[in-house]
Chains A and B, each alone.
Chain A
Amino acid sequence: MTPTPEERLAVALARLILDPAAPPARHIAVGAASPIPAAACWLVKRAGHPVRLSLLHREEANPFTEGTCELFDLTAQGRIDLFFLGGGQIDGTANINLLGTGEWPTAGTKFGGVRFPGSFGSAFMYMMTPRTILFREEHSPRVLVPRVDWISAPGVSPPDVFRRGTAQALLTGRCVFRFDPARARFALDQVHPGETVASVRAATGFDFDVPDTVAETPAPTDEELALLRGPVAAEMRATYPGFCARVWGAA
């Protein structure tokens, strides 16, 4: 079976979720507009790993019976182990920008900037969740910048600021970076098929470390692809109809 790019990314995310070196992810939450992270979570669950999934936008059997504020209350108490965030811009210290570029985004686009949708829960979730996996499919110098124009949520905080965790890793369409919060710096971990250290370097606006050996991101197995196309697709169709039709065709 030949994996689609989305399936490769979902499988790479699933492996980051299951990373034995990271604290266990017993309860994972998935926010708005995150079909690939949602697919990765369902893949982990349908592969038989004991994990509780709370998908904010799921209609059927949504676990939040106290409203959408319950996700944030759970996270505030430390009951959510892992969350996913992206960014219109992400920089080398793992700051994320969901606000926009150019003049302060409230000034609008007339100054040559681009307005992104807004920060959603990032300013809170990034700091209150023990593990965050950063995910952005587009890997280009305009997204991965030396310094974000505006910080929706900071990658690292001073020692006296209460914070449970930060980025574990950053997955893009080209590679996997690991994040070292002590040094506030990314290191290249895996490159996807067709990519090299040089091609990643050329597409990345921030500086990062490169270890002696950089592995190729392992391809999805036939078992993983069968799970994605069967039970995972079935779980996701109601919430992400457009995504599922594009990746897996009509139901």
Chain B
Amino acid sequence: MFIPLDDLAARIQDGALVALPPDNSLTPSALARALVRRGVRGLRLVGVPVSGYATDLLIGAGCVAELDTSAVTLGEAGAAPRFLAALAAGEIVLRDATCPAMHTRLQAAEKGVPFIPMRGVLGSDLLAHRPDWTVIDNPFSPTKDPILLLPALAPDVGIFHAVMADDEGNVWVGRRRELATLAHASKRVLVTAERRFAGNLLADETLAPGVISGTYVEAVALAPRGTWPIGLLDEYPADAAHLLAYARAARTREGFAAYLAEHVASPVAAAAE
């Protein structure tokens, strides 16, 4: 079940549809760095429901062809500079969405149905730019009731960080249950974990509700401080100074290249993971 981080990254094929959580959840930063080192190309990323540091890093490193997301932001560190640069240069295709649509589409895949209705959105210009979304008239309403239909979304690979993982592939994410939806909806799930749990996470009644069952998990790599520079629940806070430094450096191609050399490509950084 446990494999080295770079082997986990090697399991993600070029061009895969890869879904990941943003910076307020359990973002797989260490895996994103490993993907940059592996030189993956043509990823189609999905923000669940938005995108942050890891996505900006992958875009800047030339790993991304398409992005389906509801927003891209570095939070208090500001705009995502490599996302903006790639968009301006026409290097990525962006499909704008809205947060509940991302969750709802994954929930449809979770239930094995091809589409799902959702309220709201009518009158938004998002709709005109999403040929994959459609509006129908509610067949159960006696009066006219237009409602949005969304196609199910089953990512090729779901990736996220977990606090604990056991030898059965059970992973503990606490209350971040949107990751359970992501895991249930994805064809394959690759997880990094802060630490190994000796024993079975599902054997403990207190821990079990925060566990995603190993049924869904293909492989786990241990990655201590695996969300850094993003924080991890109550384990460690975000490294705000580092994120600000990243946002500054990534404003230019040269600055971003220097950042990669220092924090992603160097053997020291890799060994620390």
Instruction: Please tell me the number of chain A residues within 8 Å of chain B, measured between CB atoms.
Output: 54
Please tell me if the beta carbons of A108 and B89 are within 8 angstroms of each other in the complex.
yes
Per-residue CB contact flags for chain A residues 122-156 toward chain B (1 = under 8 Å, else 0) read: 11111110000000000000000000001111100
Instruction: Enumerate chain B residues within 8 angstroms of A242, measured Cβ to Cβ.
Output: 76, 240
**Quick one: given A118-B50, A127-B119, A152-B125, are A72 and B99 in contact (CB under 8 Å)?**
yes
Tell whether, in the assembled complex, residue B88 and residue A124 are in contact, meaning their CB atoms are under 8 Å apart: no
Distance to closest chain A CB from B262 (angstroms): 23
Q: Does A240 contact B (CB under 8 A)?
A: yes
A134 CB to nearest chain B CB (Å): 16
Are B24 and A32 within 8 A (Cβ)? Answer: yes
Is there an interface contact between B84 and A122, defined as CB atoms closer than 8 Å? no
**SS of A interface (majority):** loop
Kindly state the separation between the CA atoms of A106 and B68 in the bound complex, as whole angstroms: 11
The answer to whether A199 has its CB under 8 Å from any CB of chain B is: no
**Chain A 106-128 interface mask (CB, 8 Å, partner B; 1/0):** 11111000010111111111111
B49 / chain A contacts, CB cutoff of 8 Å: 68-69, 121
A6 and B76 alpha carbons, distance in the complex (Å): 16
List B104-145 residues whose CB lies under 8 Å from chain A. Answer: 104, 107, 118-126, 129, 143-145
Whether B76 contacts A119 by the Cβ 8 Å rule is no
Residue of B nearest to A124 (CB): B120
Given A109-B88, A118-B70, the answer on whether A124 and B100 have CB atoms closer than 8 Å is: yes
Add 15 more A-B contacts to A119-B71, A121-B98, A128-B120 (CB < 8 A).
A59-B231, A68-B176, A75-B100, A108-B87, A115-B84, A120-B70, A121-B49, A125-B120, A127-B119, A152-B124, A153-B123, A157-B123, A160-B145, A162-B145, A243-B76
Q: Point out residues on B near A: beta carbons under 8 Å.
A: 24-25, 49-50, 69-73, 75-76, 79-80, 84, 87-90, 93-101, 103-104, 107, 118-126, 129, 143-147, 175-181, 231, 233-234, 237, 240
